[in-house]
Amino acid sequence: MKIAFIVGQFPVLSETFILNQITGLLERGHEVDIYADQPGDAKKVHPDVEKYALLERTYYLPQVPENLLLRAIQGLGLVLTGLLKDPLGVLRSLNVFRYGKQALSLWLLYSFIPNFDRQYDIIHCQFGTLAFRGMAFQQMNAPQAKLITIFRGFDISQFVQQKGRQVYETLFRTGDFFLVNCEFFARRVIELGCDPKRIRVHLSGLDCSKFQFQPRYAPADGPIHIVTTGRLVEKKGIEYSIRAVAQLAATHPQITYTILGDGPLMAPFQQLIEALNIGHIVHLAGWKTEAEIIEQLNQAHIFVAPSVTASAGDQDAPINVLKEAMALGLPVVSTDHGGIPELVEDGISGFLVPESDANAIAHKLVYLIEHPEIWPQMGQAGRAYVAAHYDLAVLNDQLLALYQSLTQPPSNAPPAQAPDLLPTYTL
């Protein structure tokens, strides 16, 4: 089977969920090509990018400017270049009588590849926001391919708030199938008009073999290590965990708090730490590789993921960093936010608190610090839940089974369905 992945940037270190699908399909003997709008950060590359030579499978399409005048000016250059290579294809991309708004908006022109000589069975858009590129790519280059779109968070929360509830109307009419990474977003996609019979929850998997379970116990001497991993952006809610730890500093001086990650809020967070006078126990460690993150988590006792709904509306699904921490055996504190309650069982594998509530985070941290006897049981529950629901190999098999069901020729008999394939979503 031949699959085209439509992505924004590539490679992106934080998007291991995309890498896991690509490498899983390659390992199963299928061909995957990656079409991206722009390169990622060459200094921060996941080892699998080199291991599987993924850059050799990556092609960069012209970015589509938001500014319509700039789009038209740059589009003129694409027309002139394309006419020399494939004049009929260029003219087809501009045929407003046949393609309407897709041609008029120049999305077809920007997604057209002259003399395209590849055949695909599946075009998989890795976010809803990339489906506009995917629809244009399919129309111009691979009309025989089935178009699949997965919604992951920003695309079904903040983007819809910005663009309006009708933003995906065309996609819902023309797309072949839709995936979401949690039940929370499945309900929202259906509310926006997606046919429930053409949508399925497909979780973001984890290779648990990379995360060796280790029960946690209170240290005989030395500090209790609390850790957070994530991008330093508003949605991750790290401001509130910093404030929570500040409340504990006077009464529980034996703690340390390490924040792994970088982002635009690095400087404001450092200023907050200094203002709260907790620089001696709170450390912004910056960006780390996957191996370094695992090493830090192996030394930790408690994990905090204080996600919040950002002011622009952005929300989280069950986030991978929580899965990793739970797979390693860490008791966790997180928030009743987005799809996170579908991952963390409150009171069993960790605790859930309201969003943006530093006092509630502090309260649960104090409880865990003062009751270390529950750490091993919580860690075991978290590991078991992640292994049972987020096994990467099982999920990649399910994805491949979905691809095959969409590309099989129709027959009188209903298509066979893999026994472990998740059912289509129903309200």
Is 1's pLDDT higher than 50?
yes
Q: Which residue has the higher pLDDT, 424 or 32?
A: 32
Task: Say whether 100 sits in a helix, a strand or coil.
Answer: coil
For 81, other C-beta atoms within 10 Å of its C-beta total 12
Residues 307 and 261 in one domain: yes
pLDDT for res 126 = 96
Q: What is the pLDDT of residue 411?
A: 59
Same-domain pairing of 256 and 319: yes
Are 41 and 153 part of one and the same domain? yes
| Whether 195 and 214 share a structural domain | no
* pLDDT greater at residue 287 or residue 306: 306
Q: How confident is the model at residue 159 (pLDDT cuts 50, 70, 90)?
A: very high
180 and 120 in a single domain? The answer is yes
Range of the domain at 235: 208-388
At 382-413, the pLDDT tens digits run 999 999 999 999 999 999 999 999 998 765 54
The model's pTM is 0.90
- Burial of 355: CB neighbours in 10 Å, binned 0-12, 13-18, 19+: middle
pLDDT in tens, 111-132: 999 999 999 999 999 999 999 9
- Whether residues 331 and 360 fall in one domain: yes
Cα 178 to Cα 128: distance, rounded to the nearest angstrom = 9
Q: What is the pLDDT of residue 426?
A: 37
pLDDT for 413 equals 45
155 and 134 share one domain: yes
Question: Residue 11: is the preceding peptide bond cis (ω within 30°)?
Answer: yes
- 154: Cβ contacts below 8 Å, ≥ 6 apart: 127, 129, 314, 315
Within this chain, do residues 47 and 174 fall inside the same structural domain, yes or no?
yes
Written as six digits, the tokens of 427 are: 């309200």
- In the chain, the N- to C-terminal Cα span, in Å, equals 32
Are 212 and 231 found together in one domain?
A: yes
Tens of pLDDT, residues 184-199: 999 999 999 999 999 9
Domain membership flag for residue 75:
no
| DSSP assignment of 177-213 | EEEESSHHHHHHHHHTT--GGGEEE-PPPB-GGGS--
Q: What is the pLDDT of residue 410?
A: 63
Asked if residue 86 is part of any domain, the answer here is no
- Residues 260, 254: Cα–Cα separation, whole Å: 20
Q: Does residue 230 share a domain with residue 122?
A: no
Q: Cβ distance 175 to 150 under 8 Å?
A: no
* Torsion sign over Cα 268, 271, 275, 277: positive
Same domain for 295 and 359, yes or no, is yes
Across the range 408-424, mean pLDDT stands at 48
Q: What is the DSSP letter of 94?
A: T
> In the prediction, which pLDDT does 42 show?
76
With respect to residue 219, please indicate whether it lies within any of the assigned structural domains.
Answer: yes
Of 220 and 334, the structure prediction assigns the larger pLDDT to 334
Say whether both 241 and 371 belong to one domain: yes
List Cβ neighbours of 2 (8 Å cut-off, separation of 6 or more): 30, 31, 33, 118, 119, 120, 121, 122
pLDDT computed for residue 427 by the predictor: 33
Instruction: Compute the C-alpha angle 302/304/308, nearest 5°.
Output: 170
Task: State the DSSP code for 416.
Answer: P
The distance of Cα 183 from the centroid of its chain, to the nearest Å, equals 15
Q: ∠ CA 236-180-126 to the nearest 5 degrees? A: 80
Average pLDDT (239-263) is 95
Distance separating alpha carbons of residues 122 and 138, to the nearest angstrom: 9
Q: Which residues contact 14 (CB under 8 A, 6 or more apart)?
A: 231
Q: For the chain, what percent of residues have pLDDT higher than 70?
A: 96
CATH code of the domain covering residue 309: 3.40.50.2000
Q: What percent of the chain has pLDDT over 90?
A: 90
* 370 exposure class (CB count in 10 Å sphere: 0-12, 13-18, 19+): exposed
